[in-house]
Structure 1
Amino acid sequence: MTTADTTVTERRNTVPAPPGDAGAPRWLRHATDVTDPVLREAVLSLHPRARAVAGYHLGWWDERGRPVAAGWGKAVRPALVLLSARAAGAAPGTGAGCAAAVQLAHDSSLLHDDIIDRDETRRNRPAAWRAFGVAGALLAGDAMLALAASLIQREDLGAPATAALNEAVQQFIGGQFEDMAFEERAEVSLAECSTMAARKTGALMGAACRLGALAGRADGERAAGLEAFGRSLGLAFQHVDDLLGIWGDPERTGKPAGADLHARKKSLPVVAALDSGGPEAARLAELYARDPSLDDPGTLRHAAALVERAGGRERTAGLAGRHLREALDHLGALELPPSRTRPLRDLAHWLTARDH
C-alpha cells in the first residue's frame, strides 16, 4: 500500500458511523462522507483532461474547474458496499475502495448513457458531453472504468472481487445494447424488459453487495445471498426509476418532464401499457411512431396519461413491490443479526419509495 493509500484509509476510518437505527438518508450521507475522499484521490490520478471531465460529472467543479458543490448523486451503490460489509460483521468504513470503484463504474456508464440517449442534462446541469464534447466525455468514461478496476485490485481481495466487477460491467453493457435495440423495435415483451433491467441496473447493485461482503470477509454463502439481495433491489430500483422517468418532478429528478417518453424509451410502464391491448395502447403506439421532434409538453402529458390509463403505472409499481419483497427475503434467509441488516432493509424501503 502506498503512502497516499494509507492517508485515504486513515481519513475514511475517522468518519463516525451512524447508529443502526439512523435511517436510510443518514446512511447515504455516511456513504458519501466515506467514499468521497477515496474518489477524489483516485480521480486526481487521471490525465488532466479526463480529470476535468470526471470531476465536473461528479459535481466537484464547473466546466472551468471552479469548485462547486453539485454532488455525485445519492451514493446508493457505495452505501450497498459499506452496509453489506457491515452486515458481514466488518468495522465501519470497511470496503471504501470498493465503494469508490462501484461509483466510478456507475458514473462511467452514465457518461456514456447520456451520449447515447442525447440527454442534455444530468443532476440539474448540462451533461458532461454538452460541456466537454462527445469525445471528451467518452474518453473520461473509459478512464473512470479503468480506474474502478485499479481500485478493486488495490483492495487486495483477490480474483473473486475483480470477477464481480468485471461481470457486472459486462452485464450493464449488454443491458445498454438491449435498451438501444428496444427503441428500434415496435414490440418488446415484459420479460425482455425485465431481463434488460436486471442487466443494466441489477447486476451492478448485486456486485456492490458482493464486494462489500468480500471486503467484510463473509463466506461464500453469505456473499451470494447479499448479491441476490442487491440484484432484486436493483430491479425494484429500476422500476421506480422508470416511473420517475415519466411522472417524476423535474426539480427533483434533474431531467425534463416526460424525458423517457420524448426519447421513445421502451421502459417497463410503456411496455406494460402497450401490452394491455386496449384503445389507450393503440393510441400510445401511434404516438411512439411519431417523429419525437413534433412533441410538445401537451403531447407528453397525453402520452403519460395513456400509459397510466392502460395500467402501465400500476403494473410497474406492483412489480417494484414484488422485487422489494424478494430482496428482503434474500436478506432474511441469511439469518444475520437483525441489528446488522437493519440499515440494508431501511435503505431498500427508502429506495422504492423515493421521489428522485
Structure 2
Amino acid sequence: MLEKRNNIKNKFTFWDSFPQVQKDMIEISHIILTHVNSVPGLLGQALEDTFAVPGKMLRPACVMLFGAFGPDADQKHDELQKIATSIETLHNATLIHDDIIDESSMRHGRPSIQTKYGKHIAVYAGDYLVALSLTLLSENAQSLHSVIADGKTMQNILVGETEQYNNAYNIDISEKEYLDQIKGKTGVLFGLACFIGAYESGTKVTKALKAKKFGEYLGQAFQLRDDILDYTTTSSTFKKPVLLDVKDGIYSGPLIFALQNDDNNHLHELVKMGKDLTQDQLHEIENLVNHLGGVERAQKLADQYTEKALASLKKHWPDNENRALIEQLTGRLLKRQY
C-alpha cells in the first residue's frame, strides 16, 4: 500500500511546493482508483486509463483550500475529500466527452479514451463518471443545496460547450462570445469547486458565493492561459496536440484577437482553409497570431481576471496561511508553461 501511495505521489510533482494540498490530492486519487478498479471489463480498463496519468487536479484542490476556511473544516475533512473527488470525476467526464466530440487523439500525452477504446466505450466511461460524481456528492453533502449547485453547473457547462460547437468556423466570433464560452466551459466548474468547499465546511451560503466568484475568475484566467499555450509551446510540453482546434473551426482568444488586427486579411484567408491547413500553414498562423498581438491581448485579459480573483480573495477571506497558499497557486497558474 505504501509503495502504491508513493507511486501516486510521483505523479503530483505540480504540488511539491504545497505539501498539504499534495497529500489531499494523493488521497483523492486513491479514492478514485478504489472506485474505478472495481469496474469490470473494458469499461473498467478505460476508467483506469483515464486516471493513469492524472492532471493537475486543480478543481479538487480548490474544494480543499476553500474548505479549510470553514469552521467545520477539521471534522468534515473526510467528507470534503470525497466531495472533491466528485468534482474531479465530473471534470474527467467532460474531458472524455470533449475528446469524442472533437475527435481528439491525445489526452495528457497518451491516446485518448475514444482513440484507444472507441466512441461507444468512451461514452459509457464519461457517463459512468457523471454517475459516480453524483453518488459521491449526494452521499457526502450536508444538504441538497450543493447537489442543486452541481446540477446547475453541469447545465452551464453543457451550454458553454454547445455555444463553442455552434460557433465552429465562425470567423467573426466576438470577444464577448468567447469570454462567455470559457466561463461556461471552465469558469463555472472552478466556481462550483470553491463554493462547495466553503459551503460544505460550514461557511454561510452568502459568503460561499464569494468563493464561487473567485473560482469563476480563476477558471477564466486558467482557460485564457491554456489557450495562450496553444500558440507558445509544443505538443510534447503541453501534453496534447496544439493548433489542431483551428482546423476544426474552434477559435480561441489569441486567434480571435489577432483576427481583429488582420488588416491585410492574410490570417483570415489562412484560417478559412480549415481542415485543408497543412502543418506549415498552421505554423504560419502561430507566427501571425503572435505578430498581430493576439497572445499579448489574451495575456492581458488573463492578468485582469487573475487580479479580479486576488482582489476578491483579499476582500472576503482572512489573511492567513491558507489564503497565502491560494494566492501563490493563483500566481503560479498564470505563469505556467503546461
TM-score by length of 2: 0.90
- Are positions 1:83 and 2:65 aligned together? yes
Amino acid at match of 1:346: Q
C-alpha distance in 2 between matches for 1:291 and 1:227? 37
Q: CA deviation at 1:160?
A: 1.0
Q: CA deviation at 1:95?
A: 0.8
C-alpha distance in 1 between matches for 2:120 and 2:188? 27
Alignment partner of 2:275 out of 292, 313, 323: 292
2:241 alignment counterpart: 256
Amino acid at match of 1:40: L
2:227 alignment counterpart: 242
- Are positions 1:310 and 2:292 aligned together? yes
2:46 alignment counterpart: 53
SS at match of 1:87: coil
Amino acid at match of 1:38: I
Whether the 8 Å contact between 1:23 and 1:346 is mirrored in structure 2 is: no
Whether the 8 Å contact between 2:187 and 2:220 is mirrored in structure 1 is: yes
Whether the 8 Å contact between 2:228 and 2:298 is mirrored in structure 1 is: yes
Q: CA deviation at 1:51?
A: 2.2
1:295-337 CA distances to partner (integer Å, 9 max, x unpaired)?
Answer: 12x2111101111122110000000000001111111121423
Please show how residues 8-157 of structure 1 align to structure 2 within 5 Å.
Answer: 26=19, 29-46=22-39, 48-59=41-52, 71-89=53-71, 90-91=73-74, 95-157=80-142
- Are positions 1:187 and 2:172 aligned together? yes
CA gap 1:27/1:259 in 2 versus in 1, 3 angstroms = farther
- Are positions 1:319 and 2:301 aligned together? yes
C-alpha distance in 2 between matches for 1:269 and 1:157? 42
2:12 alignment counterpart: none
Whether the 8 Å contact between 2:86 and 2:136 is mirrored in structure 1 is: yes
C-alpha distance in 2 between matches for 1:48 and 1:100? 23
Alignment partner of 1:210 out of 195, 207, 219: 195
Whether the 8 Å contact between 2:218 and 2:305 is mirrored in structure 1 is: yes
Give the aligned CA root-mean-square deviation in angstroms.
2.0
CA gap 1:123/1:25 in 2 versus in 1, 3 angstroms = farther
Q: CA deviation at 1:245?
A: 2.0
Alignment partner of 1:177 out of 154, 159, 162: 162
Runs of at least 4 residues of structure 1 off by over 6 A?
Answer: none
1:48-100 CA distances to partner (integer Å, 9 max, x unpaired)?
Answer: 433221111111xxxxxxxxxxx211111110011110122512556101111
Unaligned runs of 5+ in 1: 1-10, 16-21, 60-70
Count of aligned residue pairs for this structure pair: 323
- Are positions 1:301 and 2:294 aligned together? no
Alignment partner of 2:251 out of 258, 266, 272: 266
Q: CA deviation at 1:276?
A: 2.3
CA gap 1:42/1:214 in 2 versus in 1, 3 angstroms = farther
- Are positions 1:348 and 2:333 aligned together? no
Q: CA deviation at 1:27?
A: 5.3
Please show how residues 323-338 of structure 1 align to structure 2 within 5 Å.
Answer: 323-338=305-320
SS at match of 1:52: helix
TM-score by length of 1: 0.85
C-alpha distance in 2 between matches for 1:124 and 1:287? 28
Q: CA deviation at 1:150?
A: 0.7
C-alpha distance in 1 between matches for 2:78 and 2:134? 20
CA gap 1:88/1:184 in 2 versus in 1, 3 angstroms = same
C-alpha distance in 1 between matches for 2:121 and 2:274? 29
SS at match of 1:192: helix
Amino acid at match of 1:203: V
Whether the 8 Å contact between 1:24 and 1:347 is mirrored in structure 2 is: no
CA gap 1:223/1:291 in 2 versus in 1, 3 angstroms = closer
Whether the 8 Å contact between 2:99 and 2:105 is mirrored in structure 1 is: yes
CA gap 1:124/1:106 in 2 versus in 1, 3 angstroms = same
CA gap 1:56/1:214 in 2 versus in 1, 3 angstroms = same
SS at match of 1:352: helix
